[in-house]
Structure 1
Amino acid sequence: MNNLIQNYNIILKELTNTCKHITTTKQIRLPKMSDLELVALNVTAEYMSINSELQLFRCISGTDLDGKIERSVYNKRKRKLLPYIEKIRETLSNNFSDFTDVFIVDSTPIEICKISRANRSAICATDEIKPSFGYCAAQKSRYFGYKLHAVCDKNGIFHSFDFSPANVHDVNYLNDIKENFQNCLLIGDRGYISKEIQMDLFNYSRINLSVPMRKNQHNFVEFSRTKSKIRKRIETNISQLCGQFTINTNFAKTFQGLATRIVSKITSFTMIQYLNFFVFKRSLNKLKINLC
């Protein structure tokens, strides 16, 4: 992953082939770097774990991309292209939509600052969706920020995700996804136990929600080992987002900036899966293999 320009060219070629039909806002003066080229550079930087824009522009210095765009303009345009980046991600993930009808739902904390600084932090303080205090049962710790809810299929492709303040319970996200899925099996953890929502999902979209029971529940039944193994796929995905894609490293000051960073990372994640499967014909989830 040490050759940014070669990786960029590979990603740009595939984005041009698959996403050139997606339109963006018309510009009076055509920029030197098109919107699709900007997204390709952004996706490449996320794949190569380049979080700092300063470092990114050091890497492209002396290449064909040098002088095409200024650093401040790159940042502003990237934030404005958030809906465009999300459409690209949806287009890529839709190529995998017919492969399975088994999906997994989970959430992960998005910490914006340490708890000791939370009361005086100005990050996202003026946005409509404000950060809050929350508790992560998996890590057994409190944090300040947001929560990322996500649904991926059993092969590891993200098909839906959303953000909420950290104090919003996981089960509330299920009300939002019933419009996007139907006639499928949805596997979750104990945070999604709710008979009412389970019945609503089945009656509305024929979604069969399967979650492990608590041991103190009546008529306790052991959770299937097969389903437990499938559910680990999303845990691995989240671990890869935290590791290679450094999703917990936050440099944003506004919610739009934070959302753009996370959407870019998930889009990059999906882009590499797409290249692995359709272009290089290799294992789908080997994300650390060189593209060139």
Structure 2
Amino acid sequence: MKICKETFNTSPNEGFCASQQSRYYGYKLHAICTIQGVFRSFDLSRASVHDIHYLNDVKNKFEDVVILGDKGYLSQSIQMDLFNYQNIRLEVPLRKNQIEYQPQAYILRKSRKRIETLFSQLCDQFKIRNNYAKTFVGFKTRILAKITALTVIQLINKQNNRNINNLKISIT
């Protein structure tokens, strides 16, 4: 198969999803969104690229913010670099087997759940995992269209004084 394999840098490859303990073939979506669930920035990478590499792009786009990350972003050196470079505080829950483990604050867990729900909506309602593009440009375009559609629905909900994340309601 030659789908999306125009160049080595854009070709899909094999990755591992630690939360589902499974291997997959394709790409990885990295995103920054507000606590309310509105996308601010996103990028695609090959599946094998570690999550931490996306943070190099983040430190050039944001400053003086708190970013909630999952355990894939657990790196004290990266956390210090972000803080020293742009005053970005990266909040990542510690693993239970770590020496300084403490449960993450409730407000951070609740905010993180909203973000996870946003990704679930992209997967379930917008079928972001189902993409039948033949080229990488087509793939990127379809991903962008799905994220744009989600954002437009959020905007319509906000203008009509509804919960912005209630995406299944009728727009009419």
Distance in 2 between the 1:180 and 1:257 partners? 26
Greater relative contact order structure (CA < 8 Å, 6+ sep): 1
Distance in 2 between the 1:233 and 1:164 partners? 23
**SS of residue matched to 1:218:** coil
Distance in 2 between the 1:245 and 1:215 partners? 34
Deviations 1:116-159 (A, max 9, x none): xxxxx211122341111001112221011110101111100000
Quote the residue 1:241 is aligned against. 122
Which amino acid in 2 is paired with 1:274?
L
Quote the residue 2:30 is aligned against. 149
What is the TM-score when the length of structure 2 is the normalising length?
Answer: 0.95
Distance in 2 between the 1:148 and 1:179 partners? 18
What is the TM-score when the length of structure 1 is the normalising length?
Answer: 0.57
Quote the residue 1:125 is aligned against. 5
Deviations 1:170-189 (A, max 9, x none): 11111111122111111111
Distance in 2 between the 1:179 and 1:166 partners? 23
Pairing 1:252-263 to 2, within 5 Å after superposition: 252-263=133-144
Distance in 2 between the 1:209 and 1:181 partners? 12
Match of residue 200, structure 1, among 65, 76, 81: 81
1:283 aligned onto 2:163: yes
Which amino acid in 1 is paired with 2:2?
A
- Paired residues, what number? 171
Runs of 4+ in 1 over 4 A off after TM superposition: none
1:210 deviates by 0.8
1:289 deviates by 0.8
Match of residue 94, structure 2, among 213, 219, 241: 213
1:175 aligned onto 2:53: no
**SS of residue matched to 2:30:** strand
Structure 2: segments with no counterpart, 5+ residues: none
Distance in 2 between the 1:124 and 1:236 partners? 29
1:272 aligned onto 2:153: yes
Give the fraction of aligned pairs with identical amino acids, expressed as a percent: 52
Structure number, greater radius of gyration? 1
1:241 deviates by 0.7
**SS of residue matched to 2:122:** helix
Distance in 2 between the 1:144 and 1:290 partners? 35
Moved more, 149-158 or 127-136: 127-136
Match of residue 229, structure 1, among 88, 91, 110: 110
Q: Whose helix proportion is higher, 1 or 2?
A: 1
**SS of residue matched to 1:198:** helix
